[in-house]
Structure 1
């Protein structure tokens, strides 16, 4: 029963860190999470946004460490802060991933502050590697917005029981103007974002979850002042049947379409899994992932994973980047790559 509960936790949308939280007082708790890996590819061109794995063995490409504090000020008012050293951060410069106040009234929850963008199935626990089966969330979908994960603004969530076993959640949100910065290899990009506005809708039960996301944003890439409008749509679902777990997501906007499907089978402490993904238009590639997760304890796991990332010859010759940071054609490198990873995840 304990193993089955571990397997279905993401389906219940329960923050995994809360189950290992340390109670400081009756209304204040602190929790943490982390991931680290040994990984390398057989290609010298860096691959994956913010991880930039190459054929040099890397011990910190995936290193993540986070601390979260949750305070229940009253039955209705709560506060939460999460500080994360992400893969792209140095230890001396972590990122404030969320910091918000919330108020609950009947079936409504209002939040204000720094919030997670609710576009994807694992958005809420994206940096908590212990909460999902793979070593990394599929890059085709989760790298599609260049690693941006939060906004500064407000949201409201309405929850409604559709039946004894199904719950509907609707979350409109609005993010205020801010500069969003990211790095792609040697390039540093600053997006002057006028707003981020959208809605997420989710139907969940004991062994399934269906998620829809929409976001509209207006932005310019500095130093240019030319404004662009982007509408992003996502649809994903996960389903657990006995020891099987299936997940699939698609992300689409005016410049790209990306998707993946995933299957996993739990055998006591071992969970083998397969993932297939594709990217089209802006990034053109497909990938196959095979891995094995081993749960040492309830709060510690290991992943051994192989991933092959492929590109067609015509896209390679056209200098497409695929999942690489820069086009491999420029470096005269091969269009395909194999990535090998041994990863440790934990929560406390």
Structure 2
């Protein structure tokens, strides 16, 4: 934290990341990391910063292991956050969306869409004893059925066996990305949204189960290991579900000063029930059809994710990047993505540049059934099945995106962001676009403009 003319920049380092650029007025303070709503944090230059609701929200969201022994009496705390956004896409035969779990976005459905990034969230946290706490977070955003029905993002109980070892049970954030803890808290991120190339690899953000976190401090170096086990299920636009059971993973985070490094490995058994009719059809075509179904069906198939990310944020500027890889013995195949981003802060303004890429490292087509060997009355259905299989394989995203943006913290706890994305989609791919319409041409270029107002309260 730096003090400048009576204002200090609160820069908090959580178990998995560093959150910066929240400015607070100076006041006299209490102990660091206190859960007292009137508490403050000492700055590195000896001054202190009162924790406004914005800072309290950041701490509540991202301090799962922070000195639970300092909580003395049971108490409740409330915090909220939100984004009002609008997005324009130059593509008129498909939609740009932040996730594949929604039915539409900007482009074909709406030249200007307010659905892509807009959301509102609220969180209630309770400290029952110095060791026992609980949190519930509810978010309203565009869903698979195009509604804004509120959903429970987090709902878990946490127990600190020691100040550095804790266990949570319930609905818990999946710690797969560098900004997993606050991927939906846009105010805490420099961009309008996390790069879709990488974050679409794991579109779900939480799971139901248990996790354990253990922290080791060595001087200025903090090491945190987190193990998770659980399951989740998500509804898909147009019907069907995607479910992941027996999900387990291990994540490691190292923090040293302004540097944070995050690495993770997660494995699950994935089922995509919307493709079941397709592969049931293949199974009616003898040994060849059965072999194709066994190779590509997404039914309780192992699915792994490996990711690594790093950030350096000394205050005036930042650089960060992540890389991830998913692999499945199914039509989902092997996919990878990465991004690199950097920015510079000058007063209330932050400018940033991001480059992201998504690739497919498995086949995007297959000859399918040998139609010429079939009798005429079966040739037609076989051609349809082959077309369905290749449409599924070809839906894997290949694209490169160059993004430039600006953030303006023009008011307390409020930030305006503008971002321009130039997307180059790979040949034969639809990229990360959704709601593909007849006449869409794979490949090509798409320009996306976004404006958002992020706030916390």
Same fold (TM over 0.5): yes
Aligned partner of 1:53 in structure 2 is: 106
Counterparts of 1:334 and 1:284, CA distance in 2 = 9
Per-residue deviation, residues 275-332 of structure 1 (Å, max 9, x unmatched): 00000003110000000100013410000111111124xx2xx3x2212115578424
Of 297-306 and 128-137, deviating more is: 297-306
**Partner of residue 218 from structure 1, selected from 246, 263, 269:** 269
Per-residue deviation, residues 246-273 of structure 1 (Å, max 9, x unmatched): 0100010222010000000000100000
Counterparts of 2:446 and 2:119, CA distance in 1 = 24
What displacement does 1:341 show? 1.2
Counterparts of 1:214 and 1:332, CA distance in 2 = 36
Name the larger-Rg structure.
2
Task: Give unpaired runs (5+ residues) of structure 2.
Answer: 23-52, 61-72, 277-297, 328-333, 361-395
**Partner of residue 63 from structure 1, selected from 108, 118, 122:** 118
What TM-score, normalized by structure 2, do the two folds share? Answer: 0.68
The higher relative CO (CA closer than 8 Å, separation ≥ 6) is in 1
Aligned partner of 1:79 in structure 2 is: 134
Task: Give unpaired runs (5+ residues) of structure 1.
Answer: none
**Partner of residue 231 from structure 1, selected from 300, 304, 319:** 304
Counterparts of 1:82 and 1:20, CA distance in 2 = 14
Distance change in 2, residues 1:8/1:71 (3 Å): closer
Distance change in 2, residues 1:4/1:205 (3 Å): farther
What TM-score, normalized by structure 1, do the two folds share? Answer: 0.88
Q: Which has the higher strand share?
A: 1
Secondary structure of residue in 2 paired with 1:188: coil
What displacement does 1:192 show? 3.1
Any residues of structure 2 matched to 1:38-49 within 5 Å, and which?
A: 38-44=86-92, 45-48=94-97, 49=99
Contact 1:181 1:190 in 2 (8 A): yes
Counterparts of 1:130 and 1:84, CA distance in 2 = 15
1:118 aligns with 2:175: yes
What displacement does 1:196 show? 1.1
Aligned partner of 2:9 in structure 1 is: 5
Please identify runs of 4+ aligned residues in structure 1 that moved more than 6 A.
7-10
Any residues of structure 2 matched to 1:161-172 within 5 Å, and which?
A: 161-163=217-219, 165-172=220-227
**Partner of residue 194 from structure 2, selected from 92, 116, 137:** 137
**Partner of residue 256 from structure 1, selected from 306, 331, 335:** 335
Aligned partner of 1:29 in structure 2 is: 77
Q: Which has the higher helix share?
A: 2
Secondary structure of residue in 1 paired with 2:419: strand
Q: Give the paired residue count.
A: 334
